């Protein structure tokens, strides 16, 4: 595997269904705007309560994505 450099971004995924769904929502949205996504780390899980039950799951993630070379940005790099 070639040497790689990563940048970290922190985002929060939200779901009314589950914390797993919140993670998937966050990653799917980040994939639309960030190239080179490779990994995630759950930093915090929290939520909101309404009427005595869980109303919303909120999961804070750190996303690691590659700082890409000009070749990778042009689509010629190896994955």
**6's tokens:** 């990563």
Select the more confidently predicted residue: 70 or 18.
18
The verdict on domain 6-68 having CATH code 3.40.630.30 is no
Residues in Cβ contact with 46 at an 8 Å cutoff, skipping those fewer than 6 apart:
58, 59, 60
Q: Quick: pLDDT tens for 40-67.
A: 999 999 999 999 999 999 999 999 998 8
Alpha helices in the chain, H assignment, sequence order: 19-31, 70-73
Q: Specify the 3-state DSSP secondary structure of 32.
A: coil
Residue 78 has pLDDT above 60, yes or no: no
């Amino acid at each position: 595997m070639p040497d790689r450099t990563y940048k970290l971004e922190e985002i929060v995924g939200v779901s009314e269904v589950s914390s797993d769904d919140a993670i998937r929502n966050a990653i799917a949205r980040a994939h639309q705007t960030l190239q080179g996504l490779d990994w995630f780390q759950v930093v915090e899980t929290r939520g909101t309560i309404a009427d005595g039950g869980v109303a919303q799951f909120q999961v804070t993630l750190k996303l690691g994505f590659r700082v890409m070379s000009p070749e990778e940005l042009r689509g010629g790099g190896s994955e």
